[in-house]
Amino acid sequence: MAIFTPIAYIGVTYYQGEDGIAKLKELVNIEKLKSIGETKSLPEVETSDIIKLKDEEIRLLKEEIKILQEKLDLATKQQASTQ
């Protein structure tokens, strides 16, 4: 049914002397959806900016590892002293 209805609509519009495919596109706003998709573009990003952000991320992760390692060492020492 989902396939038959559009085909029947196209057939009837061609029979009436109109462009069935254009009418169907107009009905479902395909052209409008295409134009909306074309206007979206990603902002330009410099490679150096990406590298700077990744370097900062690495620095923060190393700092977090250091803090977590210190917490682990402290917990290990406390556990060893209680036994």
Q: What is the largest distance, in Å, between two alpha-carbon atoms of the chain?
A: 93
Residue that has been written with the tokens 């295409």 in this structure: 34
- List the domain boundaries for the chain: 4-39, 45-83
Average pLDDT value for residue range 22-51:
70
> Which residues are CB-contacts of 37 (< 8 A; sequence separation ≥ 6)?
none
Round to whole Å and give the CA distance between 18 and 23: 8
What are the tens digits of pLDDT across the range 5-22? Answer: 777 777 777 777 777 777
Of the pLDDT bands very low, low, confident and very high (cuts 50, 70, 90), residue 60 is very high
